[in-house]
Amino acid sequence: MDTDACQPGIICGTPFNEQRLQVKFDDTLAGANVFGKLDVANDTALGDTLHEVRELYVDNNWPSASIRAGRQIITWGVGDLLFINDVFPKSFNALFSGQPIEYLKRGSDAIKLDIYPRWGNVELVVAQFRADITPDPRRFIIEGVPATTPRTDDVPTDGEAAIKLSRMIGNWDAAAYAYRGYFRAPAFTANGGALAGRHPRLNTVGASLVGPGLGGVISAEIGYYDSVEDRTGTDAATDNNQTKALIGYTRAIAEDTTLGAQFFVEYLHDYGAYRQSLPTGATPRDRSEETATVRFTQRYLRQTLTFNVFGFWGVSDRDSYVIPSLRYAFTDKLIGEIGANIFSGRASGTFGSLDRNDNVYAFFRYSF
**DSSP state at residue 356:** G
- Within 8 A by CB and 6+ apart from 62, the residues are none
Mean pLDDT computed over 7-24: 87
Q: What is the pLDDT of residue 143?
A: 73
Indicate which CATH number applies to the domain containing 309. 2.40.160
pLDDT above 70 (res 3): no
Nearest to 6 by CA among 105, 146, 165, 103: 146
pLDDT above 90 (res 194): no
Domain that holds residue 112: 3-366
Tell which phi-psi region holds residue 192, choosing left (phi > 0), alpha (psi between -120 and 50) or beta: left
Q: Assign 104 a pLDDT band (cuts: 50, 70, 90).
A: very high
Pick from 52-56, 137-141, 208-212: least confident: 137-141
The domain tally of the chain equals 1
Question: pLDDT (tens digit, 9 = 90+) per residue, 163-193?
Answer: 999 999 999 999 999 999 999 999 988 877 7
* Cβ atoms of 26 and 38 closer than 8 Å: no
Q: DSSP labels for 159-177? A: EEEEEEEEEEETTEEEEEE
Question: pLDDT (tens digit, 9 = 90+) per residue, 225-253?
Answer: 999 999 999 998 899 999 999 999 999 99
- Within 8 A by CB and 6+ apart from 56, the residues are 35, 36, 37, 38, 70, 71, 107
- Across the chain, mean pLDDT equals 94
Q: What is the pLDDT of residue 5?
A: 65
Q: How far apart are the first and last CA of the chain?
A: 34
pLDDT above 70 (res 287): yes
Question: pLDDT (tens digit, 9 = 90+) per residue, 306-323?
Answer: 999 999 999 999 999 999
The b-or-e profile of 106-123 (16+ CB within 10 A means b, else e) is bbbbbebebeeeeebebb
Give the CA distances from residue 231 to residues 185, 202, 242, in Å, rounded to whole numbers and listed in that order: 18, 10, 10
Q: What is the pLDDT of residue 294?
A: 99
pLDDT above 90 (res 292): yes
Q: Assign 149 a pLDDT band (cuts: 50, 70, 90).
A: confident
How much of the chain exceeds pLDDT 70, in percent? 98
**Cα(40)–Cα(267) distance, integer angstroms:** 41
Q: Assign 1 a pLDDT band (cuts: 50, 70, 90).
A: low
Q: What is the pTM of this model?
A: 0.93
With the CA atoms of 91, 93, 97 and 101 taken in that order, what torsion angle do they form, in degrees rounded to the nearest 10? 0
